[in-house]
Structure 1
Amino acid sequence: MAPTRRPSDGLLARVNFPLYAVDMLTSRHILVAGGGGSSKTGVANGFEIYELYHNGSHFCAEEVLRHETGANVVMNFAVRNSGRRAYLCAGQEAHCQMYFVQPQLDITSDASMDKKLTQSDHPHENGVRHRGVQPHSGVETLSNGNNCHPPTAADVLKQFQRLQFDIQAADVIQTDFLSNGEPLQRVVRISSNGRLMATGGTDGQLRVWTFPQMQLSTSWPAHNKEIDDLDFSPDCKYIVSISKDAQGIVWDLSTGKQQHKLKWQTQEGNKYLFKRCRYGTVEGHKDNYRLFTVTNPLGKVGKQRGFVQQWDCKNGELRVAASVDESLSSLAVRDDGRFVAVGTMFSGSVSIYIAFSLQRVLHIPHAHSMFVTGLQFLPITNEEGPPISSDTEAAVLSISVDNKVCIHSLPQRKTIPAWLAVVFMVIMIFIVLVLCSYIGI
C-alpha cells in the first residue's frame, strides 16, 4: 500500500479561474495558466507566476505576477528559458502566441519592508496566513494550511530582494486549420535543445517549427482525428504523437516518417485511447530514455481501468503497465526520469510511481474536487538555478479546473546504510563458512 498525503502537503494557491497548464518557469518559480474562455462570464483568462520555497517544515508559495490575456483562454503552453529571458508559447484557440518573460530583480525600500513584514506576518481569522495576497487580483496564496515561521534574514532577502517578471506579447502564428469545424491548438512542445517547436490540434496535422523564429519547417497528416498530446525525445531525434484515432506513433524528425506504432494487447478485447505521452531519461542521460503513456477505456467505463504504460523506445513494444481504478487525465515525468506522476479524471487523485517498475509509492486521494488538468515535478537539475531544498525525495505540483494549485511530496524512504550492508554480508559469509566446516563440506 502506497503512503498517502504528508501532513504538510496540500493547497499552495487558489486562483479565480480554471487552470489547464502548469510548468516551472525557473528552478523555483511556478507558471500556471487557464481561464474561463471568450464568453462574457466574468471569469478571467491569463497566467499566474508563484515563487515556491520550503521553510524547513513545509512548502510555501507567494504570488509574483498575474498577467491577463483578455478574451483568450490559455489551454496549453510550453516554456524555454534561455537564461536572460524565457520564451513562453501559449495555445490560444487556433493560434500560438509567443511571450517574452523578462526577469527583473526587485529591491523594496526599508520603510516598505517594515510595513510588509507587519502585514505578512498577521494571520487571518481562519489561522492560515496569506502570503503575497493582492486584494484586487482574485488570487489567494496559501501555505498548505500551516502558519509559516516568523521571518528570518533569509526570508527577508527572499521576499524583498526577489525576482519579478515582465511579460510582453511577441509573435503569433496560426497552428491549426480545421476546415469543417472549430480549429484549436491542443498541444505545443519545445525540444530540449531549444531549436524546434511542435504543435498539434483538431486538424490532425503534426507541425514542426523552427524556434524561436516560429517558422514552419515541416508538416504531415499524422492522424485522422485531433491530436491530444506530443513530446520530443530527449535526444531530439524523434517525436511521439497520440490522437483520438486511438493511435500512438513515434516519428523520425529527420525524415518525417513513421518509426513505429505503439501496440499492445488490450484486456478482453476492450478498446483504449491514449490520453497523454511523455519521454523520460534513464539516469539523466538523454541518449537513454523511456516512453510513458496513459490510456483510458473507450466508451462506457464500467469496471474497465486506465493504465500507466512504459514502452521500449527501440521497437515500440510495451514493457510495463500498471492499472488504475479509473480513467486518467494527466501525466508527468521528473527531469531525471526516476519518477512518474499521474492524475485521475473522476476523483481528482494524484499518484507517484517509480519509473522503471511502475510501482506506486505515493497516492493522494481526492487531491482536487475535479479532474486533474496538469502535473509538474519540482526539478532536481536546473540550469537556471539551484533546486529547492526540502526533506522530500520527490514533489509534484497539480492543478485542476477547481482553480487550485497543490503540491504533493514523497517522504525520504528508509534505506540501509552501505556500511551496515557490508557488515551484514561479512557476517553472513562467516556463518556460511562455519556451517560448511561443521558439516564437513
Structure 2
Amino acid sequence: MGKRGKFISVPQHDGSRFVCAAWATHHRIEKEIADHVFLGTEGSDEKGDVVALSRYDWDADVLSEPKTDFPLEDGTPLRIAVHPGGDGAIISFAESCSLFEWEEWDDDDIRSSKGRFELELKLIPAIRQLGGLENVGPQNCLTFSCDGSFLATGGEDGHVRVFEWPTMDIVLDIPNAHKFVKDMDISLDSAFLSTTSDNSPCRIWDISAGSGLLMTLPYEEGENFGFCRFSRDGMKPFLFISVTTKEQDGLVSVWDLATWRRLGAKKFLDEPITSMAISHHGKRLAIGSQTGDISIIEVKKMEVHQRIRFAHLQSINYLEFSPNDKAILSLATDCSSRVSAVDLSHEWKEWQLYLVLALMVLVSMFLFYLLYEFGDSFWQFPMGKDQPHRPPREALGYDDLVDYKTDL
C-alpha cells in the first residue's frame, strides 16, 4: 500500500501498472454505498493485461488491493467509461473499443458483511459488438451523457464521434475536429458537446440537432485551453475550462451557455491544471496539479473548499467523483491510484435540516400560544352585555320603534 494506506502504489508485486480507472456502477447497487473501482492494468511478463476490481472502504478511507481480475484479449486498456445506468463499461484499446457487461447473479451470490449486503461484481465481454468503434484507433476520451442516452468519443487522431445509446446510431461524425482530442464533456441536458486540444480553441458541437459545429469559443493570444466540464446543478448552465496563459497557470474560466460569453476567470494554482472533474450534484469542481495535489472547488462561490496536498507523488491525469459525491478517485502519471474522502463537515446533513424545521414549527406554536393568552386576541373580545363602551338604548333609537305587540 502507498502512503498512509490511502492509495495503491505501482508497480505491483507482479510488475503490472495502472493506466486507467473509473468508478463502477450497477443498477442493483445504491449510489450511496457504491464502492467498486475499475483499474485498467498494463500487464507484465508474469501477468497479462487485465481490468482489476478494487473496493473502497468508506469507514477506513482506504482503497483495497485489487482482488478480482478480468483478463483482456485486446491489449492494454487505455480508457474506461462506465454507463451511468449500469449497462456495463466501454474500454478503449489501441485498435478498437469493446463493451463489457455485468455477469448476472442470483440472490444467493449476495453475501452479508458487517450488517450490510455486498455484491461480488463480475465483468464479462459483451456479445454485442460496437460496430461504430471498430478499427478507429486509440481514443483519448470516452464519456457518457448524464442520462446515459449518448456516448461521445475523441480520438488521438482528432476524430470526434457521438452515438445514441444503446442503438449506437451515429449522431455526429467529425473527422479532424482537432489535431487530437484532449478532453470532452456533454452538457446536463445532452444538447451540447465541448471538446478541447492543446494549442487549439474549445469547440462546441450541437448534439440535439445533430448539426455539427455550433461555435468556437474565442480565446486570446497566448491562451491554451485544457480541460472542460459543464455545470451539473440544474440551475443556470455554465461551462468551466482550465486555462494557461504566457503569464499565468492554474486558471479556470467560466462561460455562460445562454450567450456563450466568458464571464471571467479565477486563478487556483501556480502550476498548470492537469485534470478536471465535476460532482454529480454540481456543487463541486475538482482539479489536479503537476505536483500531485487535488483542489476541490465550491462552484457556488468559486472558492477552494478542500485541498488534498501530495495526494500523489507525480502529476494527476485523471479525476472522478464517486456516485454519491462523497469521495474522489484519482490516477497519476506514476500509475498510482487513490480514493480520497471529500470534506463534508460544512455541509448540512438531512437530519439537521429536519431538526431545524421541527424547531421552527415549535417556536411558531409557542409564539401563537403567547399571543393567544396575553395579546388582544379577536377570540377574547367580551361578548353580549359585557362588551365595553356599549352605546345607550337611546342612541340606537329604540324609543321611537313601534311596539307591535302592544298595538295588537
> TM > 0.5 between the two?
yes
> Which amino acid counterpart does residue 399 of structure 1 have in structure 2?
L
Q: Is the 8 A contact 1:231 1:279 kept in 2?
A: yes
Q: 1:9 Cα deviation (Å)?
A: 8.2
**Displacement of 1:222 after TM fit?**
5.6
Alignment of 1:258 with 2:209, yes or no, is no
Alignment of 1:113-192 (within 5 A): 155-158=113-116, 161-170=117-126, 171-173=129-131, 175=133, 183-192=137-146
Contact 1:197–1:211 (CA under 8 A) maintained in structure 2: yes
Q: Are 1:413 and 2:357 an aligned pair? A: no
One of 240, 258, 261 as aligned partner of 1:292: 240
Is 1:32 aligned to residue 34 of structure 2? Answer: no
**Quick check: 1:328 aligned with 2:328?**
no
2:318 matches 1:395: no
Q: Which residue is 1:96 aligned to?
A: 97
Match of 1:74 in 2: 77
Larger radius of gyration: 2
Matches of 1:249 and 1:165, distance apart in 2: 38
Cα distance change of structure 1 residues 366 and 227 upon mapping to structure 2, 3 Å threshold: same
Q: Distance in 1 between matches of 2:158 and 2:218?
A: 20
Are 1:278 and 1:293, in contact at CA under 8 Å, matched by a contact in 2?
yes
Match of 1:358 in 2: 302
Q: Which amino acid aligns with 1:260?
A: M
- Are residue 54 (structure 1) and residue 2 (structure 2) matched? no
| Percent of residue pairs bearing the same amino acid type | 19
2: CA distance between counterparts of 1:200 and 1:217? 14
Instruction: For residues 237-295 of structure 1, give each alpha carbon's deviation from its aligned partner in whole angstroms, at most 9, with x where no partner exists.
Output: 11111123512011111132333322344xxx5331x222222222xx2x743222223
Q: Is the 8 A contact 1:278 1:332 kept in 2?
A: yes
Give the number of aligned pairs. 334
Residue identity opposite 1:412 in structure 2 = S
The equivalent of 2:6 in structure 1 is: 11
Q: Judge conservation of contact 2:182–2:196 (CA < 8 Å) in 1.
A: yes
What's the offset of the Cα at 1:90?
Answer: 1.1
| Equivalent AA in structure 2 for residue 66 of structure 1 | D
Query: What SS does the aligned partner of 1:104 have?
Result: coil
The one-letter code matched in structure 1 to 2:119 is L
Q: 1:220 to 1:414 in 2, by over 3 A?
A: closer
Secondary structure of the residue aligned to 1:227 is: coil
> 2-side partners of 1:45 and 1:315: how far apart?
46
How many angstroms apart in 1 are the aligned matches of 2:283 and 2:293?
A: 21
- Greater than 6 Å deviation, 4+ residue runs: 414-419
SS in 1 for 2:231: strand
Quick one: which amino acid aligns to residue 271 of structure 1? Answer: E
Structure 1: 5+ residue stretches without partners = 1-7, 114-153, 382-393, 423-441
> Take 1:42 and 1:215, find their aligned partners in 2: how far apart are those partners?
40
Q: TM-score, normalised by structure 2?
A: 0.71
Residues 223 and 371 of structure 1, relative CA distance in 2, 3 Å threshold: same
Structure 1 residues 414 and 169, CA gap change in structure 2 (3 angstroms): closer
Specify the code of the residue in structure 2 equivalent to 1:218: L
**Higher RCO, 1 vs 2 (CA within 8 Å, ≥6 residues apart):** 1
What is the RMSD of the two structures over their aligned residues, measured on CA atoms?
Answer: 3.3
For 1:276-315, list aligned pairs within 5 A: 276-282=227-233, 285=234, 288-297=236-245, 304-315=248-259
* Offset, 1:71: 5.5
With over 3 angstroms needed to count, the CA separation of the structure-2 counterparts of 1:31 and 1:18, relative to structure 1, is: same
TM-score (norm 1): 0.66
Q: What secondary structure is seen at the aligned counterpart in 1 of 2:291?
A: coil
Task: Please state how far the C-alpha of 1:76 moved relative to its aligned partner.
Answer: 1.4
User: 1:261, 1:316 within 8 Å by CA — same for their partners in 2?
Assistant: no
SS of 2:114 mapped into structure 1:
helix
Listed as ranges, the gaps of 5+ residues in structure 2 are 361-408
Deviation at 1:379, TM superposition (A): 2.9
Between Structure 1 and Structure 2, the one with more strand by share is: 1
